[in-house]
């Protein structure tokens, strides 16, 4: 959620409310959505314009969890689920903001734009590190606070709601990246600052603890806008401007906290309702009670999916006192109060929030809660949604137990709940060419199958799925998705039976959806690559503009090798550091390498699994010299916005969308294919640079065979990947984008085309420093080798 201005207010009074703390030897409840985003925002060093450098992101997430382990901190990660009804308006608003942001995004911007598979990569790393995590049905904040209360441990997030939950709270921006030796312990600690609600309450004369949720309610969050209390705030007068209360929202918070001091929760609610018109009181009171209850009486039920025993969870639930707040008086009998609340200076009605940006709602992903909410005060109360109490038990009534268990374990994406609950899907915007249709259109068939499977045994679902996507005018628009029931010769299996179907049936549903041709020989490739390659085939055959070419395909296939290189050499994106690390090893084996390079080590049809067994650090080192420069932009391109070819990014965004939904369908079907590890195969910057390199080549395969000739095992794997999909994509491989060669002007000196130079990384230069490079596309290149 997020309470506008509260993070800034606490930060400006940090000496009062935040105390230095050494974190170690404890549970730590982590707001998964928030921290996944903050790790990307603060540390990932990704080129957001190219659709996701997932390998860089994954490496920092690993380092984050490794550092917690060194300090003997046990992370318990809770992830948000689907959208509750009361958050739909906010979601629409943020989707519009993201579309607008994506429409002008370039590689020279310092802003962050989250790639659509970021959360999948975050979960993959948690699985790799055996971090305990669970997914809530809807918003996770209440569940996070409940678990932290039971365990008596801190919460790590960047969400201002946790200032009013009454739990120990560590704002992420106060957490040091590394770890140090502790002053009071023999082990390592992570330094940070911790918020204790008692210090906050005492600074306002011992403010009643029960008033904290009311503060969030009146200031407004994603669930209840401050405009609802317009009449109340019109009577509130603010203190004078100070250095710490430098804008209207900061003064509003200070005034509200001072005003609340003499009140109890019930008397404060009475004072607020008495300043609201009678016809709106019932609805507003219902909203206030629901929001307050969320902050105070949520259940610690997520302890079970986090791995705590059923006996322990039962004991906690039994001992928990659950008494949600209910207003104790007849609100209709309250007289309307018109008098003002005098606190020195009247409130302005035309304030602006731009100087009070918050960064505490990570579920919105790209906008970080910094929208301008000037129109909140003009909101019509009659349009405000009432609380939908049916969300609490929806999942248990709409889905079988096996599905609930898998969903709680985080095996399914949150939007599954949106599909099931309200037959609605928000398609996340990507960086793409906005002169072309939205990149998600090629995925609609896969989305339709997911929806049919999720709702196949529910008689109450009588409408098709609605999906929200940008239209031709770049507006967020709802569309009806046509059913794909006719694509199968059999009926969709009911969801309750889906997990018991034979594997061959579930695999058949997946391959039929992806239209995987019989010519695709899955036996040739590693199991974790099969779905990835099947998705490449599906994406290539959709026929959407811009058309997929062989340059796109070769770039994707070639980039699949860097995961193998990382596994053998460790993560390294610096040629200098790599050489320093492995130079002695390479020198020792130099003579042996010369004798091996020209030998055929494998039969022609060797599969990638067998070839993978022969991969050596020497092979990887040689190939890394080619790959590493392509992970970064050429310096000249970094300073030139016009050099950015967003149409190339658009094609790979289409592929990412197809991959996203094919992976989610694969998960729903119980993984008939192994799930690909996105961080091991996809780097947007690498793909962009490889594409621009390959489009200059008449024969890309011949070029790659020369580039990787000193890495025979990796070359064999690449050729195997190519052979696996070449026949299914014969027409695509025939469609090369090599442009006509520029004629040399005899009257002028030859110059390198700036755009082409800036669009391609300089991998060849590094190869040429090690040995002569012979380009099969250039017959005169051999002369250089003879010098």
Neighbours of 313 (CB within 10 A): 19
- Higher confidence at residue 278 or residue 178? 178
Three-class SS state of 476: strand
- The Cα 368–Cα 94 span in angstroms is 10
Q: Residue 486's pLDDT is what?
A: 64
Q: Are residues 381 and 446 in the same domain?
A: no
For the segment 304-317, the average pLDDT, to the nearest whole number, is 90
29: pLDDT strictly greater than 80:
yes
Residues 197 and 271 in one domain: yes
Q: How far apart are CA 207 and CA 214, in angstroms?
A: 12
Residues 443 and 660: beta-carbon distance below 8 Å: yes
Query: What are the DSSP E strand ranges found in 489-565?
Result: none
Same domain, 404 and 383: no
Print the domain residue range for 467: 394-500
Domain end among 345, 370, 387: 387
pLDDT at 587 over 70: no
Give all strands (DSSP E) within 516-565, no chain letters: none
**Residue for token pair 């009247």:** 346
Give how many domains the chain has, as a whole number.
Answer: 3
512 in a domain, yes or no? Answer: no
For residue 573, CA distances in Å to 128, 576, 614, 679, 759 come to 21, 9, 23, 14, 19
pLDDT in tens, 163-207: 999 899 999 999 999 999 988 888 999 999 999 999 999 888 888
Cα separations (Å) of 700 from 196, 691, 718, 739, 768? Answer: 61, 10, 12, 13, 18
Same domain, 466 and 529: no
pLDDT tens by residue, 126-135: 999 999 999 9
302/340 same-domain check: yes
In a domain, 511, yes or no: no
Q: What pLDDT was estimated at residue 584?
A: 63
pLDDT at residue 598, rounded to an integer: 46
What are the pLDDT digits (tens) for 205-239? 888 888 888 888 888 766 666 667 777 777 776 66
Looking at residue 656, what is its pLDDT? Answer: 97
Q: What is the mean pLDDT of residues 335-345?
A: 51
| Confidence at residue 242, expressed as pLDDT on a 0 to 100 scale | 60
**Could you tell me if residue 514 is inside a domain?**
no
- Which pTM does this prediction carry? 0.86
Is residue 546 reached through a cis peptide bond, with omega within 30 degrees of 0 on the bond before it? yes
Instruction: Note whether residue 515 is domain-resident.
Output: no
pLDDT digits (tens, 9 = 90+) for 130-161: 999 999 999 899 999 999 999 999 999 999 99
Give yes or no: residues 272 and 151 share one domain.
yes
- Asked if the structure places residue 551 within a domain, the reply is yes
Residues 186 and 49 in one domain: yes
CA distances from 703 to 394, 498, 570, 764, 782 (A): 56, 46, 26, 11, 14
Question: Which CATH number goes with the domain that contains 243?
Answer: 3.40.50.1010
pLDDT digits (tens, 9 = 90+) for 697-752: 989 999 999 999 989 889 999 999 999 998 889 888 876 555 444 444 444 433 43
Residue 377: the pLDDT is: 39
What pLDDT shows up at residue 295? Answer: 83
For 391-432, what is each residue's pLDDT tens digit? Answer: 557 777 788 999 999 999 999 999 999 999 889 999 999 999
> Do 653 and 774 fall into the same domain?
yes
Nearest by Cα to 40 from 637, 679, 663: 679
Higher pLDDT, 299 or 172: 172
CA 34: distance to chain centroid?
10
Helix (H, G, I), strand (E, B) or coil at 461: coil
Q: How far is CA 555 from CA 41, 49, 288, in A?
A: 27, 17, 54
Neighbours of 506 (CB within 10 A): 21
Using 50, 70 and 90 to split pLDDT, how confident is the model at 610? low
CA atoms of 512 and 499, how far apart (whole Å): 18
Treating both helix axes as pointing N-terminal to C-terminal, what angle do 212-219 and 265-273 enclose, rounded to 10 degrees? 20
- pLDDT at site 114: 94
Confidence (pLDDT) at 655: 97
Give the DSSP letter string of 76-108.
EEEE--SPPGGGHHHHHHHHHHHHHHHHT--TT
Is the per-residue pLDDT at 246 higher than 90? no
Q: Under a CB-based contact definition with an 8 Å cutoff, are residues 343 and 238 in contact?
A: yes
**Final residue of a domain: which of 437, 472, 500?**
500
Residue 1 counted as domain residue: no
Looking at the structure, tell me whether residues 481 and 611 fall in a common domain.
no
Rounded to the nearest angstrom, the gap between the alpha carbon of residue 359 and the centroid of all alpha carbons in its chain is 16
- The more confident residue out of 720 and 767 is 720
Nearest to 498 by CA among 568, 582, 399: 399
Burial (CB < 10 A; 0-12, 13-18, 19+), residue 94, is buried
Residue 195 sits at φ, ψ, to 5 deg, of -105, 125
Continuous segment of H or E residues that includes residue 30? strand 26-31
Residues 251, 298 within the same domain: yes
What pLDDT does 353 receive?
A: 33
Using the structure block, give the residue that is written with the tokens 């709802």: 478
Q: Compare 251 and 548 and report the one with higher pLDDT.
A: 548
User: Does residue 715 sit within a domain?
Assistant: yes
Distance (Å, whole) CA 613 – CA 470: 46
Report the share of the chain in percent with pLDDT over 90: 45
Q: Reduced to 3 DSSP states, what percent helix, strand and coil does the chain have, rounded to the nearest 5?
A: 50, 10, 40
What does the alpha-carbon distance between residue 45 and residue 500 come to, in Å, rounded to a whole number? 43
Q: Give the pLDDT score at 243.
A: 57
CA dihedral 764, 769, 771, 772 (to 10 degrees): 60
Same domain for 404 and 372? Answer: no
Helices and strands in the chain, H and E counts:
37, 13
* Percent of the chain's residues with pLDDT above 70: 78
Instruction: Place 381 in a pLDDT band, splitting at 50, 70 and 90.
Output: very low
Residue where one domain finishes, among candidates 438, 469, 500: 500
Nearest one of 225, 240, 237 to 287, comparing CA atoms: 225
What average pLDDT is seen over the chain? 81
Burial class (CB within 10 angstroms; exposed 0-12, middle 13-18, buried 19+) of 246: middle
pLDDT of residue 614: 76
Q: Is the pLDDT of residue 613 over 60?
A: yes
Lowest pLDDT segment from 656-660, 663-667, 727-731: 727-731
CA 67 – CA 650 distance, rounded (Å): 37
Q: Is residue 507 part of a domain?
A: no
Tokens representing 344 are 């020195």
Q: What angle do CA 747, 752, 756 make, to 5 degrees?
A: 135
Tens-digit pLDDT profile for residues 357-370: 344 444 444 333 33
Indicate if 324 and 254 belong to the same structural domain. yes
Residue 274's pLDDT is what? Answer: 84
Query: Do the Cβ atoms of 423 and 463 come closer than 8 Å?
Result: yes
Return the pLDDT at 767.
36
Flag the least confident range among 88-92, 524-528, 768-772. 768-772
């Amino acid at each position: 959620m997020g309470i506008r201005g509260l993070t800034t207010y606490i930060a400006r009074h940090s000496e009062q409310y935040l105390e230095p703390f050494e974190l170690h030897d404890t549970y730590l409840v982590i707001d998964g959505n928030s921290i996944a985003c903050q790790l990307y925002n603060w540390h990932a060093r990704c080129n957001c314009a190219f659709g996701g450098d997932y390998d860089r992101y994954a490496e920092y997430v690993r380092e984050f969890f490794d550092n917690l382990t060194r300090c003997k901190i046990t992370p318990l990660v809770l992830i948000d689920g689907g959208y509750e009804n009361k958050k739909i308006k906010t979601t629409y608003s943020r989707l519009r903001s993201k579309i607008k942001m994506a429409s002008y995004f370039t590689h020279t911007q310092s802003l962050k734009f989250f790639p659509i598979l970021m959360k999948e990569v975050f979960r993959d790393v948690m699985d790799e590190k055996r971090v305990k995590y669970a997914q809530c049905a809807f918003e996770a904040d209440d569940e996070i606070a409940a678990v932290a209360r039971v365990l008596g441990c801190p919460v790590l997030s960047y969400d201002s709601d946790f200032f009013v939950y009454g739990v120990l709270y560590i704002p992420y921006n106060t957490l040091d990246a590394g770890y140090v030796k502790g002053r009071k312990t023999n082990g390592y600690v992570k330094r940070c600052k911790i918020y204790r609600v008692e210090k906050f309450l005492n600074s306002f004369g011992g403010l009643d603890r029960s008033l904290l949720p009311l503060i969030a309610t009146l200031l407004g969050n994603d669930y209840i806008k401050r405009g609802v209390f317009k009449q109340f705030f019109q009577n509130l007068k603010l203190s004078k401007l100070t250095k710490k209360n430098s804008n209207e929202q900061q003064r509003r918070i200070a005034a509200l906290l001072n005003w609340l001091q003499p009140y109890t929760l019930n008397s404060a609610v009475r004072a607020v309702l008495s300043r609201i018109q009678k016809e709106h009181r019932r609805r507003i009171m219902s909203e206030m009670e629901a929001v307050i209850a969320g902050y105070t009486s949520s259940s610690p039920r997520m302890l079970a999916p986090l791995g705590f025993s059923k006996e322990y969870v039962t004991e906690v639930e039994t001992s928990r006192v659950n008494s949600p707040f209910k207003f104790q008086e007849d609100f209709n009998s309250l007289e309307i109060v018109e008098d003002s609340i005098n606190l020195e200076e009247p409130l302005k009605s035309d304030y602006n929030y731009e100087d009070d940006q918050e960064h505490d709602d990570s579920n919105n992903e790209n906008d970080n809660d910094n929208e301008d909410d000037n129109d909140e005060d003009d909101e019509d109360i009659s349009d405000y949604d009432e609380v939908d109490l049916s969300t609490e038990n929806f999942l248990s009534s709409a889905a079988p137990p096996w599905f609930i268990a898998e969903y709680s374990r985080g095996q399914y994406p949150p939007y599954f709940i949106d599909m099931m609950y309200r037959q609605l899907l928000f398609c996340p915007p990507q960086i793409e060419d906005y002169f072309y249709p939205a990149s998600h259109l090629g995925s609609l068939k896969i989305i339709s199958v997911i929806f049919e499977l999720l709702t196949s045994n529910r008689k109450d679902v009588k409408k098709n799925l609605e999906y929200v996507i940008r239209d031709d005018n770049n507006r967020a628009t709802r569309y009806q998705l046509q059913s794909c029931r006719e694509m199968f010769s059999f009926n969709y299996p009911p969801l309750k039976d889906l997990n018991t179907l034979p594997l061959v049936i579930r695999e058949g549903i997946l391959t039929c959806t992806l239209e995987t041709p019989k010519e695709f020989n899955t036996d040739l490739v590693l199991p974790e690559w099969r779905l990835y390659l099947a998705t490449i085939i599906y994406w290539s055959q959709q026929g959407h503009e811009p058309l997929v070419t062989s340059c796109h395909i070769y770039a994707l296939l070639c980039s699949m090798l860097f995961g193998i290189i990382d596994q053998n050499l460790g993560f390294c994106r610096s040629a200098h550091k790599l050489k320093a690390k492995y130079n002695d090893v390479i020198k020792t084996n130099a003579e042996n390498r010369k004798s091996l390079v020209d030998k055929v080590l494998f039969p022609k049809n060797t599969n990638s699994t067998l070839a993978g067994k022969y991969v050596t650090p020497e092979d990887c080192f040689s190939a890394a010299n080619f790959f590493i420069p392509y992970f970064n932009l050429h310096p000249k391109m970094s300073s030139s916005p016009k050099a950015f070819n967003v149409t190339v990014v658009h094609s790979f965004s289409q592929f990412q969308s197809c991959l996203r939904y094919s992976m989610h369908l694969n998960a729903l079907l119980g993984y008939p294919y192994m799930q690909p590890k996105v961080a091991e195969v996809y780097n947007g910057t690498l793909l962009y640079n490889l594409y621009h390199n390959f489009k200059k080549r008449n024969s890309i395969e011949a070029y790659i065979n020369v580039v990787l000739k000193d890495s025979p095992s990796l070359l064999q794997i690449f050729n195997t990947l190519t052979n696996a999909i070449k026949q299914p994509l014969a027409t695509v491989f025939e469609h090369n984008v090599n442009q006509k060669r520029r004629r040399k002007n005899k009257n002028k000196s030859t110059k390198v085309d700036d755009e082409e130079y800036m669009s391609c990384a300089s991998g060849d230069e590094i190869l040429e420093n090690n040995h002569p490079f012979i380009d099969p596309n250039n017959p005169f290149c051999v002369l250089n080798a003879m010098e």
